[in-house]
Amino acid sequence: MNFIKNFVREEDGVTAVEYGLIASMIAVAIIAGASLVGISLNTLFTNIGNCLSTANCAAAA
């Protein structure tokens, strides 16, 4: 029983776990942001390609 009480009270390694959680949240935010930027760039370059191939640039603007 003392082992369980000591295990619950022990704080060694807690900081490392917190840093790991923060790093994982930052990584998720970076991946989500990069994905959104990639989608926007894909749309932009698709519009530019359509403008150049059809010479109808008013629709792309």
- The pLDDT, as a whole number, for residue 58 is 67
Total number of domains in the chain: 1
In a domain, 28, yes or no: yes
Residue 42 is given by DSSP the state H
pLDDT in tens, 3-59: 887 777 777 777 888 999 999 999 999 999 999 999 999 999 998 888 888 877 765
Tell me the two tokens of residue 28: 């998720």
**What span, in angstroms and rounded, lies between the C-alpha atoms of 12 and 6?**
11
Per the structure, the complete domain to which residue 49 belongs is given by 20-53
**What span, in angstroms and rounded, lies between the C-alpha atoms of 40 and 47?**
11
User: How far apart are the two ends of the chain, measured CA to CA in Å?
Assistant: 71
What is the pTM assigned to this prediction?
0.60
In a domain, 11, yes or no: no
In a domain, 61, yes or no: no
In a domain, 27, yes or no: yes
Contacts of 51 (CB under 8 A, 6+ apart): 57, 59, 60
In a domain, 4, yes or no: no
